[in-house]
Amino acid sequence: MATITSTDETFKKLISENKLVLVDFWASWCSPCKALAPVLESISDEIKECKILKHDLDSQPNIPTAEGIRSIPTLYLYKDGKHVETIVGFQEHSKISSVIKKHL
């Protein structure tokens, strides 16, 4: 399974329709964001119960502003539509996976 692109218009629907969602707030000019992309692709293949969304804050700024995103990459984990975890900065596969798995 691949990551899903989120927009300001689709964000709330995607969060509410899926039990567990990890949102990557990122930008194309951010080197750590680019380094994180293959890690998230791998996690999306490994943990099928969690949808992974990528939300570009440059082209879709309203949701990141509303969510209080102050640095990137920032990952927000939502469970049943509620924000339950935050991961800031590039993290290894094992760290991100362990955060997700404790909410399965």
State the catalytic residue, choosing from 23, 33, 50, 52: 33
State the catalytic residue, choosing from 30, 37, 88, 99: 30
Asked if 30 is an active-site residue, the reply is yes
Specify the pLDDT at position 89.
97
Q: Model pTM? A: 0.95
Three-state DSSP class for residue 73: coil
Task: Please count the structural domains in the chain.
Answer: 1
Could you tell me which of 42, 36, 13 has the C-alpha nearest to residue 89?
A: 36
The CA-based angle 85-36-103, given to 5 degrees, is 25
Percent of the chain at pLDDT > 70 equals 99
Q: What is the mean pLDDT of residues 62-87?
A: 97
Q: Which domain holds residue 13?
A: 4-101
Q: What is the CATH number of the domain that holds 37?
A: 3.40.30.10
Specify the pLDDT at position 2.
83
User: Could you tell me which residues come within 8 angstroms of residue 73 by beta carbon, excluding any fewer than 6 positions away?
Assistant: 24, 25, 26, 30, 32, 33, 36, 88, 89, 90
